[in-house]
Amino acid sequence: MLTKTIDIKKKPPDIKVLLSLVADGTEIVLTDNDIPIARLGGT
């Protein structure tokens, strides 16, 4: 599984893009100043 990290302070994520990536099998880790705050993944 590919993991993509996105810092929400540097670039606010577009939820549609995030969900599309998750649907394609990518795990998303959202960070705030490089501190992990949430993880999105498929079922």
Token pair in block for residue 25:
């099998």
What pLDDT is attached to residue 7?
93
Pick the residue with more confidence: 43 or 42? 42
E strand or H helix at 4: strand 3-7
* Rounded average pLDDT over 34-42: 94
DSSP state at residue 14:
P
pTM of this structure: 0.82
Selection from 19, 13, 15 nearest residue 32 by Cα: 13
Please say if the pLDDT value at position 42 is more than 90. Answer: no
Q: How far is CA 35 from CA 16, 20, 23, 24, 43, in A?
A: 23, 23, 24, 25, 24
Give residue 43's pLDDT band: very low, low, confident or very high (50, 70, 90): confident
Please provide the distance, in angstroms rounded to a whole number, between the alpha carbons at the two ends of the chain.
12
pLDDT digit string (tens) for 5-32?
999 988 778 999 999 999 999 999 999 9
